[in-house]
Structure 1
Amino acid sequence: MTKPFPDAPAQRAAIETLTHELKVSPFLASLLVQRGVSGYEEARVFFRPEIGHLHDPFAMRDMDRAITRLTMAMVRQEKILVYGDYDVDGTTSVALFYGFMKTLHPHLDYYIPDRYAEGYGISQAGVRWAADNGFTLIVALDCGIKSIDCVAEAKALGVDFIICDHHRPGTEIPDAAAVLDPKRVDCAYPYKELTGCGVGFKLLQALCIFNGIPLEQLYPFLDLVVVSIASDIVPITGENRVLAYYGLRCLNEQARPGLRALIKVANAKKDESGNLITDSRATPSTRQLDINDLVFKVGPRINAAGRIKHAKEAVRLLLADDDTEADRFALEINTHNVNRQKFDSGTTQQALAMIEADEWLKNAKSTVLFDASWHKGVIGIVASRCIEHYYRPTVILTQSNEKVAGSARSVPGFDVYEAIEECADLLEQFGGHTFAAGLTLKPENVSAFRQKFETVVSGRIQEEMLTPLIEIDMPLDFDQIDGKFVRILKQMGPFGPHNLQPVFCTEQVYLCGPVQTMQQKHLKFWVRQANSAYKFQAIGFNMAPQWADRLYHDEPLSICYQIEENHFNGQVSIQLVLKDIRCVDPTPPTLDSTQQPNAVA
């Protein structure tokens, strides 16, 4: 699917204005207009986010109450418990809040619930542990917005709560000392898409302002905030864009030892058996880390601790203050990640086989699968894997103590949280976002839930949502791709939801070199466009099975792709990362074999 090139008079005028004022090509100006940038000042804010663009934290409902209670606890030397969920957002939240508060207040500890014994969110076990150990204030991060009963029990035991959450509230708000959640209907905070870690950051920002603590002491913790933003797949717009921009700068200039160790172990060399070579680990590339590195390298490893063992290990790593200790913790977590991948792969194969064996499931608008033996730590990943094969809202369920626990994932455009909410009469509890949710139900309700969820999805989902589409920003000729184009393109990042990395398409493209297959699944080859002076290396991840035997030098192709810099042996060149290929059939033109590859200027 191709985005329409702006043609309304106002849009054309904006493109002309940006082209002139920014001295960029109309193609780049059009990309900016597609992202809501229409004038010089908007472009300046977009390209140059500033810390000063962050909103006033006291604009958030209950922030004054939260600061009053937190400051009182510090003055009275109360014991404060930092409580967080076991996923990336939760563990980074705990590391952020505990790590910063430890510099101000000595009576502090943190608590992460056990995924299997306690489940998601605030637990009775956690509340009672806090009361038994003399804690009088719990700061809950990335959870708590629906924990009505547990917060009430804590209050009866003399323990107050400050809740920092970003999930959708229910009809009732917990009776806590303060409830910070920009998604509260009575909260006028101007940005609604913060992560749990982001809400925790706003609380600390307010604490600094209220107590005259220099904010410069807080900013080094933004490397944790950007990890939460990347891993929780929230929009990278507005305030999240500012936090992500400075978080990446912090990560690239002076990351904390734990994150540095995770990147190192993610890039480590392996021996022939697949074991890490620990005495000669690869050092991080000179290439700047970006959101994709966090999504695919850092996030899964942090998550693996809570999925396979206990998320406290991830917090311990993130709080490590020397490289030797961090390296040791990172290797342990990497081992958990390897084990997680094994569980993930086996469970995904079983899940796909269940769909293939059931005609009703194959033809349904949704997928709901249950197996009591599946590992609870990987069911969310398996739901995502199933969507890669059967593109539709998916819920994967497994046995958890005496209940059934599930993880739901969705497709673009469909709100899976609202669909699950329609099934609330069959559920014990649920929570989440538009594209991801969790739920718990009784075993006897699984069949009824499957039927009702299918009915709800069938009645709401539009047919086009069930077909994966590649949204193309614009057609582009190779002659437009040069060093300046790529440099400006990079400055449009950080890329992520609502500011996706642009996808281009080019027609009349021909091979100009051999097709290489890497690891039997990836493709690499050189391409040139007819009548263009440039040729580029293209790489197609996981495209070898479909295309390795279908590409010929004299046949034209249409390709859609993203443009990236390739760093290799100290050289930087432009690389096209393929998203799709289409064979076309006009008469091929004569090509000049002397044309040279284009490099980043």
Structure 2
Amino acid sequence: MKIEVRDIPPRAAWALEQAGVHPLLARLFAARGVASADDLDASLARLLAPAELLGAREAATLLADAISAQQRLCIVADYDCDGATACAVGIRGLKLLGAAHVDYLVPDRVVDGYGLTAPIAERVAARQADVLITVDNGIASMEGVAAARAAGLKVLVTDHHLPGAELPDANVIVNPNQPGCSFESKSIAGVGVMFYVLMALRAELRARGAFNGPAGQPKLDTLLPLVALGTVADVVRLDANNRRLVAQGLRRIRAGQMPAGLSALFAVAGRDSSKATTFDFGFALGPRINAAGRLADMTLGIELLLTDDAARAAELAATLDGINRERREIEGGMREQAMQMAESLLDPDEKTPPTALCVFDPEFHEGVVGIVASRLKDKLHRPTFVFAASSAPGKEHELKGSGRSIPGFHLRDALDLIAKRHPGVLLKFGGHAMAAGCTVAEEHFDIFDQALQQVAAEWLDAATLMRRLATDGPLAPEYRRADVVETLHREVWGQGFAPPVFSEEVEVISQRLVGEKHLALKLRHQGQPVDGIWFSHSDPLPARVLLAFRLETDEWQGVRRVRFLVEGAQVSS
């Protein structure tokens, strides 16, 4: 590992500080590309306009006509947290805007697979729907859209995934990544796309005179807590527009303005919603909703986000919490086994892994392969695919894989190249630069493995394969205070806008193992003692070491103290 320090543009940091931004935050924001205080304005007025999103106006017209005719709308959702929140936002928002008949259907990960398939379209038609709306999927659903159109349904695709060479023949497509769309926020999540469609629909209905009564127009900002959760949980890049959406959602949650389901999730996770952070979304709420789609039925997660009954919400949240505990147990066993398999591939002399990793075991659970791939990627810093046998009827010979990547290796593009070089090996694939999925026949696993290795050998070099940890440099001792840590935690951090990680040389006074696998540290930082903890790390540190660390607070005998959470170490020269 190489610990590096981000560049801090001095003019930008000075300008932010002059505008009243906390000096430490000014330095952190400047290092992340924020040039002025205007970029930090999280007001709703600063959101990108819905009119800039290609297809949003046409979607608004289609939906307004459907609402006027009291047609039946059915949302087809994805089975992850982004899809669940997008579905809940769609249903809640459409009802707010006057839709009388709104239903939803979420595919089963095992039985149905991903996206709008032809059988799913047929099930929607059987429900007597008039309009089918996809959320967080559909951009690659050629057959599903065609089947829906053939059944007489109008189809609105709302998605954010990268399209292939061909677009589905939907009535309307809303996707910032489709050709010809100039919408600046290409990283908006599926829930964000649905929220923008609702904003466009409200504008269309307003133009038609729908809100001339004393009540005025419905407030869509009540949906922002769900938008914020789905955006963070989907690990999309937090560009300025996404940060505004998340900041607005957090503001409402901290004020207690959220659906009953979110309140119940905070409770079962043991988190304080009045101090909600993006970490809560990513590591507490999101995983509990995702667990439903991985091991059970995402209908549980969607129903939780739709209910306004506190008792029902508490019951559903407790169920999801139990499923998540089961998921963690399954993941733990799979992770250990997969790590052993990956370590068996290490070069015997250099002790380095191959340029890319592919692991498969017949006992792996297909609902957890993505999490395990992420853990392996984090540990070994290699593009990684983990495969499990499909449990869908008639698909037992197929392997379903989930991949996670490292900077410099575009995973979906790699799959596309493999598909061109080895026709027929990939039965289906899709995804993003950093995360993707694919299906292969079991007999073609070795071919896929070798093909991925070949692409990785061509695209990756020694510099890319070295793990680099970007940090914010030394922490001035006057900022090692609980109130400063809480100030940092209130900000919006996440993918593409990394949470603060500091780095500097410290003295290791003492160290011991806790829980058999965590390293508890007594450190001397800037001449003063401070506690530290390095989770899931057991190797001892030298007396002086360059540490990369985050900040957290804990309480000891009624006193709040600052503790270092170690992210990495580099032996000082």
Q: TM-score, normalised by structure 1?
A: 0.85
Which residue pairs with 1:277 in the alignment?
A: none
- Cα 1:251/1:216, change in 2 over 3 Å: farther
Which residue pairs with 1:257 in the alignment?
A: 260
2:244 is the alignment partner of 1:228: no
Which residue pairs with 1:119 in the alignment?
A: 113
- Cα 1:243/1:515, change in 2 over 3 Å: same
1:240 to 242, 249, 252: 242
- Cα 1:107/1:29, change in 2 over 3 Å: closer
1:385, distance to aligned residue in structure 2 (A): 2.1
3-state SS of paired residue (1:224): helix
1:397 to 387, 396, 405: 387
Contact preservation (8 Å) 1:405, 1:439:
yes
| Percent identical | 30
Task: Output the CA distance in 2 between the equivalents of 1:578 and 1:313.
Answer: 36
Task: Output the CA distance in 1 between the equivalents of 2:571 and 2:146.
Answer: 63
- Cα 1:286/1:567, change in 2 over 3 Å: farther
The one-character-per-residue Cα deviations of 1:362-404 (angstroms, maximum 9, x if unpaired) are: 7521111233432110111111122233321111122223232
Which residue pairs with 1:520 in the alignment?
A: 516
Task: Output the CA distance in 1 between the equivalents of 2:447 and 2:569.
Answer: 42
- Cα 1:505/1:357, change in 2 over 3 Å: closer
2:361 to 357, 361, 371: 371
Contact preservation (8 Å) 2:117, 2:143:
no
2:295 is the alignment partner of 1:308: yes
| 1:464-543 matched pairs, under 5 angstroms | 464-482=463-481, 486=485, 489-490=488-489, 493-509=491-507, 511=509, 518-530=514-526, 532=527, 534-543=528-537
- Cα 1:356/1:191, change in 2 over 3 Å: closer
Contact preservation (8 Å) 1:510, 1:529:
no
1:431, distance to aligned residue in structure 2 (A): 1.0
Which residue pairs with 2:309 in the alignment?
A: 322
Which residue pairs with 1:2 in the alignment?
A: 4
1:464, distance to aligned residue in structure 2 (A): 2.6
- Cα 1:370/1:540, change in 2 over 3 Å: closer
1:359, distance to aligned residue in structure 2 (A): 6.3
- Cα 1:191/1:569, change in 2 over 3 Å: farther
Which one-letter code corresponds to 1:297 in the other structure? Answer: A
- Cα 1:354/1:56, change in 2 over 3 Å: same
The one-character-per-residue Cα deviations of 1:212-240 (angstroms, maximum 9, x if unpaired) are: 36676211111111111111111112110
The one-character-per-residue Cα deviations of 1:111-155 (angstroms, maximum 9, x if unpaired) are: 000111110001222111111221110110000001112111111
Which residue pairs with 1:204 in the alignment?
A: 198
Bigger CA drift: 472-481 or 329-338?
A: 472-481
| 1:86-235 matched pairs, under 5 angstroms | 86-103=79-96, 104-212=98-206, 217-235=219-237
3-state SS of paired residue (2:374): helix
Which residue pairs with 2:333 in the alignment?
A: 346
Contact preservation (8 Å) 1:477, 1:506:
no
3-state SS of paired residue (1:78): coil
Task: Output the CA distance in 1 between the equivalents of 2:5 and 2:144.
Answer: 48
- Matched length: 549
3-state SS of paired residue (1:163): strand
- Cα 1:215/1:85, change in 2 over 3 Å: farther
| 1:543-554 matched pairs, under 5 angstroms | 543=537, 545-547=538-540, 550=541
Structure 2 unaligned runs (5+)?
none
Which residue pairs with 2:75 in the alignment?
A: 82
1:51, distance to aligned residue in structure 2 (A): 0.5
- Cα 1:359/1:332, change in 2 over 3 Å: same
Contact preservation (8 Å) 2:508, 2:524:
yes
Contact preservation (8 Å) 2:362, 2:388:
yes
- Provide the alpha-carbon RMSD of the alignment: 2.6
1:19, distance to aligned residue in structure 2 (A): 4.4
3-state SS of paired residue (2:429): strand
1:16, distance to aligned residue in structure 2 (A): 4.1
Bigger CA drift: 351-360 or 289-298?
A: 351-360
Contact preservation (8 Å) 1:5, 1:30:
no
- Cα 1:582/1:464, change in 2 over 3 Å: closer
Which one-letter code corresponds to 1:209 in the other structure? Answer: A
Task: Output the CA distance in 2 between the equivalents of 1:286 and 1:404.
Answer: 40
Contact preservation (8 Å) 2:50, 2:196:
yes
Contact preservation (8 Å) 1:209, 1:215:
no
1:343, distance to aligned residue in structure 2 (A): 1.8
3-state SS of paired residue (1:102): helix
The one-character-per-residue Cα deviations of 1:22-80 (angstroms, maximum 9, x if unpaired) are: 4754x654433222233xxx22431x311111111121111121111111111111111
2:462 is the alignment partner of 1:463: yes
Task: Output the CA distance in 2 between the equivalents of 1:446 and 1:410.
Answer: 19
Which residue pairs with 1:599 in the alignment?
A: none
Task: Output the CA distance in 1 between the equivalents of 2:481 and 2:318.
Answer: 40
3-state SS of paired residue (1:474): coil
3-state SS of paired residue (2:367): helix
Contact preservation (8 Å) 1:428, 1:439:
yes
- Cα 1:364/1:580, change in 2 over 3 Å: closer
Contact preservation (8 Å) 1:537, 1:576:
yes
1:293, distance to aligned residue in structure 2 (A): 1.3
* Higher gyration radius (CA): 1
Which residue pairs with 1:33 in the alignment?
A: 30
2:563 is the alignment partner of 1:575: yes
Which one-letter code corresponds to 2:73 in the other structure? Answer: I
Which residue pairs with 1:418 in the alignment?
A: 413
Greater relative contact order (Cα < 8 A, sep 6+): 2
Which residue pairs with 2:548 in the alignment?
A: 560
Task: Output the CA distance in 1 between the equivalents of 2:486 and 2:553.
Answer: 9
1:241, distance to aligned residue in structure 2 (A): 0.4
Task: Output the CA distance in 1 between the equivalents of 2:482 and 2:363.
Answer: 53
Q: TM-score, normalised by structure 2?
A: 0.89
3-state SS of paired residue (1:574): strand
Contact preservation (8 Å) 1:5, 1:474:
no
Task: Output the CA distance in 2 between the equivalents of 1:428 and 1:502.
Answer: 41
- Cα 1:202/1:571, change in 2 over 3 Å: farther
1:173, distance to aligned residue in structure 2 (A): 1.3
2:269 to 248, 266, 269: 266
2:51 to 58, 63, 69: 58
- Cα 1:24/1:73, change in 2 over 3 Å: closer
- Cα 1:568/1:225, change in 2 over 3 Å: farther
Contact preservation (8 Å) 1:205, 1:215:
no
2:318 to 317, 328, 331: 331
1:3, distance to aligned residue in structure 2 (A): 2.5
1:350, distance to aligned residue in structure 2 (A): 2.7
